[in-house]
Amino acid sequence: MNRREFISAALCGAAATVLPFKVQSSFAQQPSAAQANEAKLLRIVQRNIEVLKRPAKVFGLVQQSGASGLALAAGEMFDITLRNEAAEATLIHWHGLTPPWDQDGVPNAPAPVLGAKADRQFRFPVGGPGTHWMHAHTLQEQNLLAAPLIVLDPAERNVDEQNVVILLHDFSFSTPEELLAGLKGGASAGTPAAMNHAGMGHAMSGMSGMSMPKGVASMPMSMDLNDIEYDAYLANDRTLDDPEVVNVESGGRVRLRIINGATATAFTIDTGRIGGSLIAVDGQNVEPVEGSRFPITMGQRLDIRLEVPHGTHAFPILALREGAREQTGIILAPRRSAVRKIDLLATANAPVVDLKIEQALRAARPLSQRAADKRFDMQLSGDMQRYVWALKTTPKLVVRKGDRVEVTMTNASMMAHPMHLHGHHFQVVAIDGKRFAGAVRDTVHIPPMRSVTVAFDAGNPGQWAFHCHHLYHMAAGMMATVSYES
């Protein structure tokens, strides 16, 4: 029996499960060609989940069957009807894909938001295989308006390997409007500010203040790792007091597809007793890097290949909150394995995410070697007390189709910034001025007082968002535009 047959034949629970955990949710199921054929309608819905034994109303992106997200085949068309069944307008960004600019999903850049109860058609080439995701480009992202977007390689259809998707989130019972108002310092008490979702394209405004909500951390002048204290940290919508348990084959091979969909939290992935091999970042293959701990900032994705040991032990895959003790994750459980409770808090603080692994990564398919036609310097700055964030690029970010472009991002602030470019993939080509041929990706971590240079080929005309993927930094002004000459 190979691993694909094993998944089809797996029982709904492990024989020796100690706790009554649900096994094998729609997040962690093996993506299949059947799912890809079904996924022509994508629905924006509102749904109810339970977080720490409390009910929570959140968004979802589901297929007609109710399965979360999309699984498509590389080389086919992204031919999707997006249906907004929610009560408010929104729009979805296809993070990791390179659609035409008018289908990118940033409100009013150029397409307007999708109204409540409305449909919109999207059609463009999917591109190559990879682990991607999709999410609202509005504050609704905080309310879990996100889902996996997995592009499968038809050449790997018969590979004896089980895919397990893990979507990470940070979660608050406060509204995102309350969180942002609190970060901005608050004002008089009152009802939450109304959010103008159409204004979240290349500038976000109209946020009136209110009293500091529970959950907003203090804002010191020194380096700040986490500016929001969330109520919970989720892996596939669940916390470690009731984690997802995924049946795996003893002695089998697993490909973890991990997506950091958190709005303001970086993690370190800890594979524990199973050593892992990092084989792709942001959907792009890299030369394998072995280890058991791998950092992942907001918007990034990691593909980690595991060889499950023979036996009946269960194996937690944990996401450790940066610089803190909170943790979340899932459990990989061979049949007859005992699944035991894992505490919501680790015994020690998790590592601070840095650039060590970025310096070690090498693209499996790097950009061709050529001199840059355009070079830009981007200064990342911010004021934590006023909660104002900014990008300043010299010269203005204007390119021509066919240019090889290099952008050096220098972080002069005391918080890290995960920088994401829409519509393109870039290669990391220097850290702190030291040149090397790094990973190809779409989101890169810039720690305080560090610089990272990326290169990309300008081949997708439009006016593309280039922004920090910390949702509240973006909402407070940390967004620029890469403009193509007409």
pLDDT digits (tens, 9 = 90+) for 345-360: 999 999 999 999 999 9
Band (pLDDT 50/70/90 cuts) for residue 146 is very high
- Checking if the pLDDT of 20 tops 80, the result is no
How far is residue 12's CA from residue 4's CA, in Å, rounded to a whole number? 16
Dmax over Cα atoms in the chain, in whole Å? 64
Band (pLDDT 50/70/90 cuts) for residue 385 is confident
In this prediction, residue 384 carries a pLDDT of 84
Strands 245-247 and 479-484: unpaired
How far is residue 309's CA from residue 272's CA, in Å, rounded to a whole number? 12
Tokens representing residue 184 in the block: 């901005």
- Checking if the pLDDT of 390 tops 70, the result is yes
How far is residue 23's CA from residue 246's CA, in Å, rounded to a whole number? 6
- Checking if the pLDDT of 7 tops 80, the result is no
Band (pLDDT 50/70/90 cuts) for residue 203 is very low
Strands 253-260 and 284-291: unpaired
- Checking if the pLDDT of 168 tops 60, the result is yes
In this prediction, residue 6 carries a pLDDT of 32
How far is residue 301's CA from residue 440's CA, in Å, rounded to a whole number? 12
Closest CA to 122 of 94, 83, 81: 81
What digits encode the pLDDT tens for the residues 312-340?
A: 899 999 999 999 999 999 999 998 898 99
Least trusted range by pLDDT, from 65-74, 216-225, 290-299: 216-225
The top-scoring range by mean pLDDT among 154-158, 384-388, 457-461 is 457-461
Band (pLDDT 50/70/90 cuts) for residue 413 is very high
314 within 8 A of 332, measured Cβ to Cβ: yes
How far is residue 174's CA from residue 113's CA, in Å, rounded to a whole number? 24
457 within 8 A of 367, measured Cβ to Cβ: yes
Write down all domains in the chain, each with its CATH number in brackets: 361-484 (2.60.40.420)
What digits encode the pLDDT tens for the residues 52-66?
A: 999 999 999 999 989
In this prediction, residue 257 carries a pLDDT of 98
Tell me if residue 43 falls in helix, strand or coil.
Answer: strand
In this prediction, residue 338 carries a pLDDT of 87
In this prediction, residue 2 carries a pLDDT of 45
In this prediction, residue 23 carries a pLDDT of 35
- Checking if the pLDDT of 243 tops 70, the result is yes
How far is residue 477's CA from residue 486's CA, in Å, rounded to a whole number? 26
How far is residue 91's CA from residue 255's CA, in Å, rounded to a whole number? 30
Tokens representing residue 342 in the block: 């894992």
Mean pLDDT for the chain? 87
How far is residue 332's CA from residue 247's CA, in Å, rounded to a whole number? 6
Q: Percent of the chain scored above 70 by pLDDT?
A: 84
How far is residue 219's CA from residue 389's CA, in Å, rounded to a whole number? 14
How far is residue 364's CA from residue 375's CA, in Å, rounded to a whole number? 25
In this prediction, residue 8 carries a pLDDT of 31
Instruction: Render the burial of 336-363: b for 16+ CB within 10 Å, e for the rest.
Output: ebebeebeeebeeebbebebebbeebeb
Which helix (H) or strand (E) element contains residue 358?
helix 356-360
In this prediction, residue 27 carries a pLDDT of 59
What digits encode the pLDDT tens for the residues 30-79?
A: 445 455 545 589 999 999 999 999 999 999 999 998 999 999 999 999 99
Bridge partners (DSSP) of residue 102 are none
How far is residue 253's CA from residue 307's CA, in Å, rounded to a whole number? 5
In this prediction, residue 225 carries a pLDDT of 85
- CA atoms within a 13 Å half-sphere pointing along the CA-CB vector of 68: 23
| Distances 151 to 206, 285, 291, 408, 436 between C-alpha atoms, Å | 37, 13, 25, 30, 29
Strands 417-421 and 443-446: antiparallel
- CA atoms within a 13 Å half-sphere pointing along the CA-CB vector of 463: 13
In this prediction, residue 208 carries a pLDDT of 27
Strand order in the sheet with 119-125: 54-62, 41-51, 77-84, 119-125
451 within 8 A of 407, measured Cβ to Cβ: no
In this prediction, residue 486 carries a pLDDT of 79
How far is residue 322's CA from residue 291's CA, in Å, rounded to a whole number? 18
Band (pLDDT 50/70/90 cuts) for residue 223 is low
